[in-house]
A and B are shown apart, each in its own frame.
Chain A
Amino acid sequence: MSDEKKQPAEEEKNGWGIEKIPYPKGVAYISARWDVCVGCGACEMACSMFHYGTVNRELSRIRIYRYLLPLPKSVQNVCSQCPEKERECQKACPEDPPVIHYDPERQHMVVDEDRCLGSGCGQCRDACPAQVPRFYPPEQDVSMVCDLCEKDGRRRPQCVEICPTQALEFISPKIPHHLERIHPDEKAASLANRLYPLPKGRVIRMPEEIWGGK
């Protein structure tokens, strides 16, 4: 193109990057924007790396569920660190004191792994309306739940930091945060409403329905 002139790219830009927003203090959780999620799975890689030093989505505490609505759509599922009276997983744990519980000091859910009964029990998962707690029997047959990547009192959620579309936010609750606890099937069904009035499972009307003929 004749209008083009060779010039070096600008080295740096000043912007409003999300990384410049300070992390919240006090009670906080990971809020998932499912409409923005593109389903790349980077969060799962970062999570398993932080907690287990490997890249394996089965060892991730955040999970991507992919649906065909029939347009493909991915939604995230991650613990919303529910308020005290809403902690169904903690209530359901058969152990006393509960293996899965909120630690007010560290300000996130924790699992006492040596006491956990594993996937054979699974009552925490079944009690959670979003089925957030996960098990990976081959390597980690204990309940896995988001700990906000807390280490020595610092919370740096790796999934939030890696998410390329800012579909995950680490925030203080602005709403009763258990309201974020929605089963992925229901999230997908909600987004499918955007395709109304397409008939379920179809993307077009057949030419015969439009123009007639056999």
Chain B
Amino acid sequence: MRDKKFKLLEVDLSNEKIQTVDVTSEVRRFVGGRSLGAKLLWDRVPPKADPLSAENVLYFGIGPMTGLLGSVTNVSAKSPLTHLRGQSNMNGHFGVEFIYAGYNSGVIFTGKASRPVYLFIKDSQVEIRDASHLSGKSGIETQNLLTEELKKEIDDQNIRVAAIGPAGENMVRNADICHDFYHHAARLGMGTVMGSKKLKAVVVKGTRSPDYAHPDKVLEIMKKWLHAGRLYRIQNRRWGHTQSMSGRYYKTVEGIKNKQKGWDDMCDLFNPVLLEQRYKIWGDACHGCPVACKVPYFMMGPPLGPFAGELRHDNAGGWSANVMIPGYELQGYLCSYVDYLGLDGEDVSGVVAWMMECYEKGLVTKEDLGGIDLTWGNVEAICALLKKIAHREGIGDALADGLKFAPAKIGKGTEKFAITGKGVAITSYEPRGSMKDALELAGTAVGEIHGARGNPDRIMFDSLTGCSFWRSTVQDIYGSIADWAIQGLHATCDWKLSQEDWRLLELRGATMERCYSIREGHYVPERDDVMPERFFQETIYNKYNEPKKLNKEEFLAKRKELYRSYGLKDDGTPSPEFLEQLGLEFAIPVMEETLKS
């Protein structure tokens, strides 16, 4: 069997130059997606670069197994929200299309276009095209317009588009990238970077063979999990991923009223059985997935209807009891409006919750907010504020900078109510209910993002790139993630990996990500891997009146254990010996330099 080659499409937007680069040797060491993204950032973004400058890169990353467990695309760039390593996953049908187009390591954008453009890819035909007619359009409108426009040209309906909305164009720091209506690479401002490059959309269509090393084995792996997986995940098919919310309120792991409370009676309104029976219209899946956990709803009733959308924990978790929204009707409208504006629903909901608490406490006034009466649960007020943020009008200009920068700009004692870690809003999580969550959220080098924890096995899962909802089920079906990955990499690339090889890949990917964040100088694990003080000082009570609080000593002690399990020193940094063992020697002098200062 010949060696499988990995090709990365490189698009220089400043000079409008396009080339294909062979990255096979890097893929052997970093696989793809999230790990390879970290390495590309390390190599290609100069230290301390401004994330919104032409020096930043934007990498749509995939892995050798993309399409076998969902079709996740991992988007990487230096984050404008945190100034650390930025990355976000989106599922759908986008990633695998790159494999069909012949770019099995994805596409990287460098530089900055001088006018609004979109990238068109059809196999070897790659063009930077004018996108001025799409300016100001939402991500969904853009996808529709481009599909209509291009389906005649390529004589096919099946075109995959990822696009940004108005928030991305206006460089709101938590803007998202939208694909296929409800798949969003929303976190850490990936849409903002795309907006800063004046890149409105990426269109990809592939008609080539995916060129698997052992296609029969690929299909065997698929068959096994198509059959087992659909049975394991039957509730996800019925209720989608918003189902977790109801249980999360009962475990006190979901935020309420900007983390001021541990229970509210409105929590029981988030009952997925009602969502399914009243509003669900059909199920929809990503590439290669039998579950179809996307369960779009359609609501007709007044005053907000008719409207449609899709609820998940990720987009809906923040628009719930955390801002005191009672029930699906209002939540559904808000989520669709956030998508229309092109914001990261989770992060911006934390910004809104913060403002609501400040408004309640009198720290910001109606005048500050431009006449908005920002009381808890006021959907009309939330929409008005969101519009200001997306268009950077009035107070929205400061709020659009996210929780790392906005609190200092607003001032007046509002800072301590910003529930954030490393600049990312903590919205859909209430760490007081789970020490494990608290540790894993605090211990990632990218910010407190629940879907992107720093555990090496999760980072590798994002590198392959698999749908993270499936991690536990993969273990049930294949024994372990390693077993699945080793089989899959053999089937797709003819790689023969041992369990030890796999473990080394996991640790290398995780450490690479951490090194990048440390190099940027704003991240000192011991100082930054913490939770807001509220979680250690204020006690909340769950439905059964049981107290919940985090113990700081316990947290710090367990954090050391967590670091050790990642192969790190007790202070969360990698030792030179460890870096050497992982083949990351190039990082040793930079780490020593950065951590000294």
Contacts and interface: CB of A to CB of B under 8 A. Distances in A.
Contacts of B310: 71
Interface stretch (B296-304, B438-446, B552-560): B296-304
Contacts of B222: 42, 45
A126 to B, nearest CB: 12
Contact of A38 (B208, B218, B283): B283
B521 interface: no
Interface in A84-118: none
A68 B140 contact: yes
A194 B230 CA distance: 26
B260 to A, nearest CB: 26
Nearest to B310: A71
Interface stretch (A20-28, A170-178, A200-208): A200-208
A136 B230 CA distance: 32
Interface stretch (B37-45, B209-217, B451-459, B571-579): B209-217
A207 B207 contact: no
A54 B209 contact: yes
A207 B181 contact: no
A155 interface: no
Contacts of A68: 140, 143-144, 147, 180-181
Contact of A203 (B180, B209, B309): B309
Given A68-B181, A71-B310, A72-B284, A211 B380 contact: yes
A49 interface: yes
A213 B384 contact: yes
A66 B180 CA distance: 10
B283 A41 contact: no
A41 B206 CA distance: 15
Contacts of A41: 287-288
A70 B210 contact: no
Contacts of A49: 215-216, 219
Given A68-B181, A70-B181, A139-B209, A207 B380 contact: yes
Given A46-B219, A55-B218, A165-B230, A70 B288 contact: no
Interface residues of A, number: 47
A73 B296 CA distance: 10
A40 interface: yes
A72 B287 contact: no
A197 interface: yes
Contact of A165 (B143, B286, B288, B292): B292
Interface string B133-162: 000000011011001000000000110000
B334 to A, nearest CB: 10
A184 interface: yes
A56 B209 contact: yes
Contacts of B212: 54-55
A201 B144 contact: yes
Given A58-B207, A68-B140, A207-B384, A38 B285 contact: yes
Contacts of B306: 195, 197-198, 205
A57 to B, nearest CB: 8
B226 A164 contact: yes
A204 B181 CA distance: 13
A108 B157 CA distance: 28
Nearest to B340: A204
A186 B181 CA distance: 21
Nearest to B143: A68
Contacts of A184: 157
Contacts of B2: none
Interface string B208-241: 1110100110110011001101100000000000
Contacts of B284: 38-39, 71-74
B303 A210 contact: yes
Contact of A195 (B143, B308, B333): B308
Contacts of A207: 337, 380, 383-384, 387
B157 A65 contact: yes
A53 B216 contact: yes
Nearest to B297: A71
B336 interface: yes
Given A40-B292, A68-B143, A54 B215 contact: yes
B281 interface: yes
A149 interface: no
Contacts of A182: none
A213 B229 CA distance: 49
Contact of A66 (B158, B226, B289, B380): B158
Interface in A4-63: 35-36, 38-42, 45-46, 49, 53-58
Contacts of B469: none
Given A42-B226, A71-B296, A65 B219 contact: no
Interface in B103-128: none
Given A45-B222, A164-B226, A198 B384 contact: no
Given A53-B215, A66-B158, A165-B290, A58 B226 contact: no
Contacts of B147: 68
Contacts of B215: 49, 53-56
A74 B294 CA distance: 12
B216 A38 contact: no
A150 interface: no
A162 B296 contact: no
6 contacts: A68-B140, A139-B209, A194-B282, A195-B306, A203-B309, A205-B306
Given A45-B222, A55-B218, A64-B158, 15 more contacts: A45-B218, A45-B219, A53-B215, A66-B180, A68-B143, A70-B181, A74-B285, A138-B207, A162-B226, A164-B290, A165-B230, A184-B157, A201-B144, A203-B307, A204-B304
Interface of B: 93, 100, 140-141, 143-144, 147, 157-158, 180-182, 207-210, 212, 215-216, 218-219, 222-223, 226-227, 229-230, 281-290, 292, 294, 296, 298, 300, 303-304, 306-310, 333, 336-337, 340, 380, 383-384, 387
* 8 pairs of A and B residues whose beta carbons are closest in the complex: A164-B290, A38-B292, A38-B285, A207-B383, A204-B307, A55-B215, A164-B230, A40-B285
